[in-house]
Amino acid sequence: MKEIKDSDRKPSKKPLIYYYMVALLVLMLLNALFFPSVLSRQVIEVPYSQFLTMIDDGQVSQVALEESSGQLVFIAGEDEAHQQVYKTGIWPDDGQRLLEQLRSDPSIQFQAEIPTQANPLLSFVLTWILPIFFFILIGELISRWMMKRMGNGLPGGMGNAMTFGKSNAKVYVEASQIGVTFADVAGQEEAKASLMEVVDFLHEPEKYADIGAQLPKGVLLVGPPGTGKTLLAKAVAGEAHVPFFSISGSEFVEMFVGMGAAKVRDLFKQANEKAPCIVFIDEIDAIGKKRDTGGYGGNDEREQTLNQLLAEMDGFDGRKGVVLLAATNRPESLDPALMRPGRFDRRVPVEPPDLPGRKAILQVHAKKVHIADDVDWDLIARTTAGSSGAELANIVNEAALRAVRQHRKVVKQEDLEESVETVLAGAQRKNAVISDQEKKIVSYHEIGHALVAALQTHSAPVTKITIIPRTSGALGYTMQVDTGEKALMSRTELYNKIATLTGGRAAEELIFGKENMTTGASNDIEQATKLARAMITRYGMTDEFDMMALETIQNQYLGGDTSLTCAPETAAKIDAMAAQIIKEAHEKALGILKAHEGKLHELAEYLLEKETITGEAFMSILNA
């Protein structure tokens, strides 16, 4: 298929010209068939004597008097096919005699007015020009309507095909249009420091030119969804006060081969015209995926777009101040040619924020909300470990919505704590119908988790226990919050965490018997299995396999799917070892609960009565 060039952007008009020719032929036929007499009636002025002669010869058939001019207009001819319109004056002394003669002749008809040919120019305009203009106008309206319908209704945008390679990038020229600076970005200090160099170059390029340094042509922002990659790109443009081109990678993908490449050319052409500027391509993995190396199939359009992007990045002059920023959460899928130095020179990780970062992000979003003065931001930040910036913004907003539902104008600590639980575990299902027996089982299950956690060393403190059902499907949960930020976990901590996860099922077995165990431990079983397998395959915490890697992680920023890279016999050994770790942890939890069965009953009854208890109340009863 032929590649579409920038010069071919105007849609073809040939079909419309054919329609206009057909319309012109129809007009000619209509004029020839229906208006021949009107077109042939040219008014001929004759002497009065000739008029009298025509009357005597019986050629006059119709006569009318033009009162304004005092002249006679008449139709005369040997037969109807040769009739013509004539005009003549009236002899001053002969008017009365002529009138009597005309009245006496039955073949002559008197008319109020005889239609005559109008001004030839006006007749041509009315008969030919106006109809043609009308047909052209109707054709243009129909074609525009069809283009709009095609653009809105077809995948890939048939209407967009009529633009032939326009990039459609959003352009923010003024800093006020962007409205974002580094002051609006919190919790990403390392990323801000790395990007600040780009801003400094755009402000003072001569400082770098003196030493011979060049600005990185491309900066790739990588990280999980919601961590602020797009926000950082906008902040760079807002700080640098330069034009900002924003486009998504999916906008380059078209159904016609060559159009994506044309859009890339157009984007870089606009960027060079407005240099210095920043070009931001969001979700670049849509066009930057690794090219097919098997020789079968493939997406020709996507590969052409990628090739054009590679060529443009090689071609533009970094000294002009054109900076290409891109964002993705799948860096492992990008083509190596795109990631080499000279194209994307710098890779900036945008990871979920740490404890101080979460606190700063919460406070940034809290500026837009009326917050009570006694809110403990440290506690909220500790309970949201692993949350992204978008999730933290959602927590503050959920707290504000809860305050409105409670008919308050200020957000309190309890609103923020409840919003954390809403985001992590779902909203409360206060109207859920649960039998007393099921409530009792859930109560013992959750206290089982809490007791095992509290009676082990190297375990996070219990902060809340509840048996109120949640919209996520959980009938209750036990919340543990570390006092500080932890980046590493020891083998003992992982083993104790598995024991805590098995504590709920262990409590059910101890109180209700193995024959009455329920399905409530399904999520605990899933998490315990993942941790046990990770200890063997990823963390090297077994003597048999030592530090051998037995699985790989794919899409680490999108859930981190894992796949085993070992022989089937080794996989069977891994399964057996994971089962043994979980079994030992389960037996440990069962032993702890048997040793403190009295506290298990006391705390379960208290939780069944209150439905929700805090970590302080739990520990006071346990230590009493």
- Active-site residue set: 446
For residue 276, whether the previous peptide bond is cis, meaning omega lies within 30 degrees of 0, is yes
CA-to-CA dists, residue 467 to 29, 280, 394, 422, 460, angstroms? 88, 47, 24, 14, 20
Q: Exposed e or buried b for every residue in 113-126, given b needs 16+ CB within 10 A?
A: ebebeeeeeeeeee
Asked whether 191 and 221 are in contact (CB, 8 A), the reply is: yes
- Which two three-digit tokens encode residue 202? 């755009």
Handedness of CA 306, 311, 315, 318 (dihedral sign): positive
CA-to-CA dists, residue 495 to 41, 238, 576, angstroms? 110, 48, 16
CA-to-CA dists, residue 479 to 231, 272, 376, 444, 497, angstroms? 32, 54, 18, 15, 13
Asked whether 85 and 42 are in contact (CB, 8 A), the reply is: yes
Asked whether 75 and 85 are in contact (CB, 8 A), the reply is: yes
Strand partners, 104: none
Estimate to the nearest angstrom the gap between the alpha carbon of 113 and the chain centroid. 71
Instruction: Encode 414-435 in three state secondary structure.
Output: HHHHHHHHHHHHCCECCCCCCC
* Pair type for strands 244-248 and 277-282: parallel
Which residue is it, tokens 């206290």?
447
For residues 340, 341, 345, 349, the Cα torsion angle rounded to the nearest 10 degrees is: 40
Asked whether 277 and 173 are in contact (CB, 8 A), the reply is: no
- Please name the amino acid found at residue 171: V
Asked whether 527 and 533 are in contact (CB, 8 A), the reply is: no
Gap between the Cα atoms of 326 and 249, Å rounded: 9
Gap between the Cα atoms of 603 and 452, Å rounded: 13
H/E stretch holding 463: strand 462-466
Nearest to residue 217, comparing CAs of 87, 324, 350? 324
Gap between the Cα atoms of 502 and 448, Å rounded: 9
